Amino acid sequence: MARVTKRSPIGVFDSGLGGLTVFKVLARRMPEESLIYFGDTAHVPYGSKSPEAIARFSSEVAKFLAGRGIKLLVVACNTSSAWALPAIRKAVKVPVVGVIDPGARAALGVSRGGRIGIIGTEATVKSEAYVKAIKNLRKGAKTVSAACPLFVPLVEEGWWSGDVVETVARKYAGPLKSARVDTLILGCTHYPFLKPVLARVMGSKVRLIDSAEETARETENVLCGLGLRAPRGGKGRREMWASDAPERFARLAGRMLGAKVKKVRLHHFD
């Protein structure tokens, strides 16, 4: 395996398109860093799978990225961050950054009343990872969680707005609005794609939190701490992989990033 240096890439992964919300912020914040993205499109959605399957898929992706010489791995998937961090840390030697602690910190940073709503996949909600992270930071905080399993297929289908999405969002938002949450954690990296709809449905008084900014900040801090930040002024390379249907992934990724994605390579796990 190649020796890790300051110029080694950062690995970023998700079950599909969702982690691009984190990739985009990393690329903007640290343009000199090289990034390798992996969308595990053969296995999406992770959110309805068992913890064992989530840990197995996540570890396979982590090992693949480690084999490409990454210096740090960003697990840009809440479901994986909730269930698979110990397995990933066992599978690879590089430092690993998840999205849950950064998301919990960001929410408590802006919440006035400490009434935090959490939406995520079934698996993330079941794990109570956010609830634990929030209570760890602020004991008296109130949390309400809701699983929103239809959002990921809608996002992967490229339906990011419109009547259908709005109707589904209103249905999911009901209990959160009744609980009068003041802050809503988008506890799945796919959900920021639906931010305009969610903002309308929740109303202007509710702050929406996605963990991308905070996760990128944490990534930068970890790299600085290890003396592994790429030299400033350069331009990092970008590389993308998917485990199925790479052309389709390239099309939707380009739409999301607002720039043509020329090449997404295919890697099968079998």
Binding mask 115-134 for ligand DGL (x = CB under 6 A): ------x--x----------
Choice among 20, 77, 82, 186 that is catalytic: 77
Among 55, 96, 154, 188, binds ligand DGL (CB under 6 A): 188
CA–CA gap between residue 36 and residue 10 (Å, rounded): 6
78 touches 85 (CB < 8 A) = no
Write the burial class of residue 225 (CB in 10 Å: 0-12 exposed, 13-18 middle, 19+ buried): exposed
By beta-carbon proximity to ligand DGL, the closer residue of 8 and 183 is 183
**DSSP 8-state assignment for residue 268:** -
By beta-carbon proximity to ligand DGL, the closer residue of 183 and 211 is 211
Assigned token pair, 258: 């607002």
Confirm or reject binding of residue 46 to ligand DGL (CB under 6 A).
Answer: yes
Sign of CA dihedral 247, 34, 152, 64: positive
Q: Helix or strand or coil: residue 92?
A: coil
Question: Smallest distance, Å, CB 228 to ligand DGL?
Answer: 25
Among 45, 98, 103, 192, binds ligand DGL (CB under 6 A): 45
Q: Give the chain's count of helices (H) and strands (E).
A: 12, 10
Among 79, 111, 143, 215, binds ligand DGL (CB under 6 A): 79
* Rg value, the chain, Cα: 18
Question: Smallest distance, Å, CB 51 to ligand DGL?
Answer: 13
Among 34, 58, 78, 243, binds ligand DGL (CB under 6 A): 78
Question: Smallest distance, Å, CB 4 to ligand DGL?
Answer: 26
Confirm or reject binding of residue 47 to ligand DGL (CB under 6 A).
Answer: yes
Number of residues that bind ligand DGL (CB under 6 A): 17
Strands 96-97 and 115-120: unpaired
By beta-carbon proximity to ligand DGL, the closer residue of 212 and 228 is 212
Question: Is residue 188 annotated as a catalytic residue, yes or no?
Answer: yes
Confirm or reject binding of residue 256 to ligand DGL (CB under 6 A).
Answer: no
Question: Is residue 77 annotated as a catalytic residue, yes or no?
Answer: yes
Confirm or reject binding of residue 58 to ligand DGL (CB under 6 A).
Answer: no
Q: Residue 124: name the closest of 103, 145, 152 by CA.
A: 145
SS3 sequence of 180-214: CCCEEEEECCCHHHHHHHHHHHHCCCCEEECCHHH
Question: Smallest distance, Å, CB 184 to ligand DGL?
Answer: 15
Among 71, 190, 207, 238, binds ligand DGL (CB under 6 A): 190
Choice among 188, 202, 228, 252 that is catalytic: 188
**DSSP 8-state assignment for residue 238:** E
By beta-carbon proximity to ligand DGL, the closer residue of 15 and 145 is 15
Q: How far is CA 25 from CA 15, 28, 46, 50, 219, in A?
A: 18, 5, 23, 30, 11
Residues with catalytic function: 77, 188
Residues of this chain that interact with ligand DGL (CB under 6 A) are 14-16, 18, 44-47, 77-79, 121, 124, 152, 188-190
